């Protein structure tokens, strides 16, 4: 197991370096951090000194290694948009995004497992067909559209129909101004974004779980268990489900890694100040310092969770480890 | 990989879907002419057996067609898609409204007989706008799928066929492309390279090719080891001949299926980017940036502006996915379906 993990980790390291270098070079080449100086009368002079200060006159590789040294120390520079330290901005946004991911993944995983097991055990039943149909629709729906529809129906219409003072589910932020902590206000804010996130995840996971479960249910050891008289319930949940969860766990890990940089839509629609919203605002203003660190951090999460997926797979399924 | 981010690429290796079709074991048996054997009286046994035992010869293409047409949803979806493309691209001959013609006196009106999908704040007919916007959305979807499929299939085939260093090199590049945050990089790239249709197509294709490359590589690797390829090689077949006669025909299925599914992913991705304001720019309209405008009307009495562009995307992507599913089953009746 240790050699397996070591091998995977060793492989990830060059991927991280090459990917972060390419992202760095790409973002730096796209945005000109001296653009705001161009309007001034002494533009040429000011741009030159600013480029020197930011090391932009050096080759990209040198710039990258300077940037990397600072990045590792937590010195990620200052935002050109808010003049705040980038490290603090990203840390704050990450915490918000992590909350969304946590609730979204929790709800999705429970639903997906329930759907998958039911659909596999009662294959071709009416509910199985219904779930399949719904999955098709969910997979074909642009996630942002679902978010907007949810706001329309569950926030605005609900409020109007019942003549409420305040909407039952909010569509802005994670708290009312001045409120913090885990409370009803938090849940009322969380409901719609988590629902939007769940709809886009759960269809894929549910299909996956169904396929895995069907696979396992026809395995020899399950038939043996049935044949020797193990109760059906026990066969399904103890013998079959345990093995059928292995592929889902890896898919979940892969998908979670992507979510850290993938909630741009959800957070933009619901005005949640997480990583996605930070990206959106920074891109609109061409805030290169934030974008460089943002892309590298989100890529790191993807690599990290890819690694976790591999490790989890090897750990849960010895057949992988030893092959 | 299956779901999770706002930018997903479904591949044929994923979720076995099964709408519209009976369990697969039966069709295979019937097709191969080993269907239910009847008991036949002795007297005519010889004649009859000679008759039943000889399977009707069918070409691969005929088998493919039979299996595809049995998949009802896929056939309907194919028709719907062709209809959508034809309807959108022939719009100027049949749509009664000019999509950009403003009618400020009329203003926004909800759907009615004169304006099927209503009009927007400038009095522009929504139905006409959706049909014309479809030209851009559908064009981008199809072009991205075609380009990324060609690039991905060629690179994947090269990696799989030549193996060794070439394979290592190409697959490491694929890995690099797979760890970047997709939507973010697409948005930055579009900001850098501009927002013309061609740029959008090329940029999207630039981040779509890895999926098909991986699949084709895997297929080629496994086919390369099959006995019939070994036999061809032993018989003195050259590399181009082996690739052309033996490998390509065997990977056409996965390539076509994934190209189809890529159309769906491309349409959703384009609409997402346009919705955020990073894709197709006004005054040009795609379904995505129509929704971007409609976002301002959520919670107002003009919320109808929100429904139709989204439904257009939903309908198209749903049809593409069903079609892809039907094609998968037709190409590979044993796999993919549970």
Residue B233 lies in a domain: yes
Which chain B residues are closer than 8 Å to A140 by Cβ?
A: 264, 313-314, 317-318, 321
The 8-class DSSP code of residue B244 comes to I
Query: Which CATH number describes the domain made up of A2-322?
Result: 1.10.3720.10
Interface of A with B in 193-252 (CB under 8 A): 200-205, 207-208, 210-211, 214-215, 251-252
Q: How far off is chain B from A75, nearest CA to CA, in Å?
A: 22
Stretch (H or E) spanning B80: helix B72-89
Is A152 in Cβ contact with B299 (below 8 Å)? yes
For B310, which of A145, A204, A251 is closest by C-beta distance?
A145
Q: Are residues B30 and B137 in the same domain?
A: no
Is B10 in Cβ contact with A265 (below 8 Å)? no
Q: Are residues B298 and B253 in the same domain?
A: yes
DSSP per residue over B105-141, as a string? TT----S-SSSTT-B-TT--BHHHHHHHHHHHHHHHH
Is A299 in Cβ contact with B275 (below 8 Å)? no
Q: Is the peptide bond before A153 cis (omega within 30 degrees of 0)?
A: no
Residue B338 lies in a domain: no
C-alpha to C-alpha distance for A108 and A114, rounded to whole angstroms: 10
Q: Indicate if the pLDDT at residue B39 is higher than 60.
A: no
- End-to-end CA, chain B: 18
Q: Indicate if the pLDDT at residue B34 is higher than 70.
A: no
Instruction: Please give the average per-residue pLDDT across B237-258, as a whole number.
Output: 86
Q: Are residues B32 and B84 in the same domain?
A: no
- Specify the pLDDT at position B248: 83
Q: Are residues B177 and B42 in the same domain?
A: no
Q: Indicate if the pLDDT at residue B40 is higher than 50.
A: no
- Compute the residue count for chain B: 338
Q: How many CB atoms lie within 10 A of CB B86?
A: 10
Residue A81 half-sphere exposure, CB side, CA atoms within 13 Å? Answer: 16
Q: In chain A, which residue's Cα lies nearest the Cα of B298?
A: A152
Is B5 in Cβ contact with A262 (below 8 Å)? yes
**Global confidence as pTM:** 0.86
Residue B224: strand, helix, or coil? helix
Confidence of residue B29 (pLDDT cuts 50, 70, 90): very low
- Specify the pLDDT at position B21: 39
Q: Are residues B45 and B119 in the same domain?
A: no
- Specify the pLDDT at position B193: 92
Q: Are residues B236 and B261 in the same domain?
A: yes
Q: Are residues B154 and B47 in the same domain?
A: no
A142 touches B at CB < 8 Å:
yes
Q: How far off is chain A from B200, nearest CA to CA, in Å?
A: 16
C-alpha to C-alpha distance for A209 and A313, rounded to whole angstroms: 15
- Specify the pLDDT at position B24: 41
Mean pLDDT of chain B: 81
Specify whether the backbone of A185 is left (phi greater than 0), alpha (psi in -120 to 50) or beta.
Answer: alpha
For A280, which of B178, B276, B303 is closest by C-beta distance?
B276
Q: What is the pLDDT of residues B201-231, one digit of tens each?
A: 999 999 999 999 999 999 898 888 888 888 9
Domain limit, last residue, from B52, B75, B91 = B52
DSSP per residue over B159-203, as a string? HHHH-HHHHHHHHHHHHHHHTS-HHHHHHHHHHHH--SHHHHHHH
Confidence of residue B42 (pLDDT cuts 50, 70, 90): low
Residue B88 lies in a domain: yes
Query: ipTM of the predicted structure?
Result: 0.89
Q: Kindly report the three-state secondary structure assignment for every residue of chain A.
A: CHHHHHHHHHHHHHHHHHHHHHHHHHHHHHCCCCHHHCCCCCHHHHHHHHHHHCCCCCCHHHHHHHHHHHHHHCCCCECCCCCCEHHHHHHHHHHHHHHHHHHHHHHHHHHHHHHHHHHHHCCCCHHHHHHHHHHHHHHHCCHHHHHHHHHHHHHHHHHHHCCCCCCCCCCCCCCCCCCCCCCHHHHHHHHHHHHHHHHHHHHHHHHHHHHHHHHHHCCHHHHHHHHCCCCHHHHHHHHHHHHHHHHHHHHHHHHHHHHCCCCHHHHHHCCCCCHHHHHHHHHHCCCHHHHHHHHHHHHHHHHHHHHHHHHHHHHHCHHHHCC
Domain limit, last residue, from B52, B69, B93 = B52
Is A136 in Cβ contact with B18 (below 8 Å)? no
Sign of CA dihedral B179, B270, A194, A183: positive
Q: Are residues B103 and B44 in the same domain?
A: no
The stretches in chain A having pLDDT less than 70 are: 36, 38-41, 322-323
- Specify the pLDDT at position B38: 45
Contact B191, A30 (CB under 8 A): yes
| Residue found by looking up tokens 């999207």 in the block | B204
- Specify the pLDDT at position B22: 39
Residue B336 lies in a domain: no
| Residue found by looking up tokens 């010889």 in the block | B46
- Specify the pLDDT at position A149: 92
Q: Are residues B159 and B258 in the same domain?
A: yes
Contact B174, B263 (CB under 8 A): no
What is the CATH classification number for the domain harbouring B98? Answer: 1.10.3720.10
Residue B270 lies in a domain: yes
- Specify the pLDDT at position B46: 52
Six-digit token string for B92: 């100027």
Q: Are residues B29 and B158 in the same domain?
A: no
C-alpha to C-alpha distance for B226 and B160, rounded to whole angstroms: 14
Six-digit token string for B147: 């380009």
Instruction: Please give the average per-residue pLDDT across B78-106, as a whole number.
Output: 86
Domain count, chain B: 2
Which chain A residues are closer than 8 Å to B299 by Cβ?
A: 151-152, 155-156
Residue B65 lies in a domain: yes
Question: What residue numbers bound the domain in which B277 lies?
Answer: 60-331
- Specify the pLDDT at position B336: 44
C-alpha to C-alpha distance for B72 and B21, rounded to whole angstroms: 8
Interface of A with B in 86-125 (CB under 8 A): 123-124
Residue B300 lies in a domain: yes
Residue B337 lies in a domain: no
Q: How far off is chain A from B7, nearest CA to CA, in Å?
A: 7
Please list the residues that pair with A78 across neighbouring strands: A85
For B2, which of A136, A204, A264 is closest by C-beta distance?
A204
- Residue A85 phi/psi, 5° resolution? -70, 130
A312 touches B at CB < 8 Å:
no
Contact A213, A113 (CB under 8 A): no
Which chain A residues are closer than 8 Å to B264 by Cβ?
A: 140
Q: What is the pLDDT of residues A90-148, one digit of tens each?
A: 999 999 999 999 999 999 999 999 999 999 999 889 999 999 899 999 999 998 999 99
Q: What is the pLDDT of residues B163-215, one digit of tens each?
A: 889 888 998 899 899 888 999 999 999 989 989 999 999 999 999 999 999 99
- Specify the pLDDT at position B33: 42
C-alpha to C-alpha distance for A305 and B218, rounded to whole angstroms: 23
Please list the residues that pair with B119 across neighbouring strands: B125
- Specify the pLDDT at position A23: 93
Is B181 in Cβ contact with A30 (below 8 Å)? no
Q: Which of B127-131, B222-226, B236-240 has the highest mean pLDDT?
A: B127-131
Confidence of residue B55 (pLDDT cuts 50, 70, 90): low
């Amino acid at each position: 197991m240790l050699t397996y993990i070591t091998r995977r980790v060793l492989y990830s390291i060059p991927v991280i370096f090459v990917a972060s270098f390419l992202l760095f070079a790409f973002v730096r080449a796209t945005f000109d951090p001296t653009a705001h100086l161009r309007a001034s009368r002494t533009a040429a002079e000011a741009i030159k000194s600013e480029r020197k200060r930011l090391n932009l006159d050096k080759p990209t590789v040198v710039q990258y290694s300077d940037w990397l040294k600072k990045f590792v120390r937590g010195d990620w520079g200052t935002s050109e948009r808010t003049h705040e330290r980038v490290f603090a901005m990203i840390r704050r946004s990450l915490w918000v995004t992590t909350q969304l991911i946590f609730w979204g993944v929790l709800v999705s995983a429970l639903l997906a497992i329930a759907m998958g097991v039911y659909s596999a055990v009662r294959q071709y039943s009416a509910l199985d067909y219904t779930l399949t149909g719904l999955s098709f629709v969910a997979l074909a729906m642009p996630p942002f559209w679902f978010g907007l529809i949810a706001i329309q129906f569950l926030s605005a219409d609900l409020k109007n129909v019942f003549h409420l003072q305040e909407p039952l589910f909010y569509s802005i932020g994670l708290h009312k101004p001045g409120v913090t902590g885990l409370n009803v206000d938090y849940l009322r804010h969380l409901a719609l974004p988590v629902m939007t996130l769940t709809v886009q995840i759960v269809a894929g996971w549910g299909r996956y779980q169904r396929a895995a479960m069907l696979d396992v249910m026809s395995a020899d050891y399950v038939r043996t268990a049935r044949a020797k008289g193990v109760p059906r319930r026990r066969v399904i949940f103890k013998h079959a489900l345990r093995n059928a969860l292995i592929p889902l766990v890896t898919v979940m890990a892969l998908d979670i890694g992507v979510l850290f940089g993938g909630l741009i839509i959800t957070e933009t629609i619901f005005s949640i100040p997480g990583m996605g919203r930070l990206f959106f605002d920074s891109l609109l203003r061409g805030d290169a310092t934030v974008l460089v660190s943002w892309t590298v951090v989100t890529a790191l999460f993807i690599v990290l969770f890819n690694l976790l997926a591999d490790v989890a797979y090897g750990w849960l399924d010895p057949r992988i480890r030893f092959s | 990989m299956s779901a999770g981010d706002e930018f997903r690429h479904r591949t044929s290796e994923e979720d076995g879907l099964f709408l519209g079709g009976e369990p697969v074991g039966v069709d295979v048996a019937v097709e191969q002419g080993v269907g239910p054997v009847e008991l036949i009286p002795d007297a005519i046994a010889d004649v009859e057996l000679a008759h039943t035992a000889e399977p009707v010869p069918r070409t691969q293409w005929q088998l493919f067609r039979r299996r595809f047409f049995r998949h009802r949803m896929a056939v309907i979806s194919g028709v719907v898609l062709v209809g959508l493309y034809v309807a959108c691209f022939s719009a100027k001959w049949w749509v009664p409204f000019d999509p950009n013609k403003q009618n400020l006196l009329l203003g926004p009106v909800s759907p009615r007989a004169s304006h099927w999908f209503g009009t927007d704040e400038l009095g522009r007919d929504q139905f006409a706008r959706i049909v014309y916007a479809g030209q851009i959305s559908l064009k981008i979807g199809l072009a991205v799928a075609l380009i990324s499929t060609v690039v991905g299939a060629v690179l994947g085939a090269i990696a799989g066929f030549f193996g060794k260093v070439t394979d290592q090199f190409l697959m490491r590049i694929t890995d690099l492309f797979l760890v970047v945050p997709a939507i973010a990089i697409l948005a930055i790239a579009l900001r850098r390279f501009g927002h013309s249709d061609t740029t959008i197509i090329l940029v999207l294709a630039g981040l779509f090719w890895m999926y098909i490359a991986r699949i084709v590589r895997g297929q080629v690797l496994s086919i390369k080891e099959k006995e019939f390829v070994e036999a061809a090689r032993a018989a003195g077949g050259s590399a181009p001949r082996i690739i052309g006669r033996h490998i390509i025909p065997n990977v056409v299925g996965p390539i076509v299926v994934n190209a189809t599914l890529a159309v769906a992913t491309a349409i959703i991705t384009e609409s997402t980017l346009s919705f955020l304001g990073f894709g197709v720019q006004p005054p040009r309209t795609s379904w995505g940036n129509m929704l971007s405008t409609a976002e301002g009307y959520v919670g107002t009495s003009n919320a109808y502006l929100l429904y139709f562009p989204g439904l257009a995307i939903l309908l198209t992507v749903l049809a593409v996915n069903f079609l892809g599913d039907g094609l998968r089953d037709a190409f590979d009746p044993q796999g993919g379906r549970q």
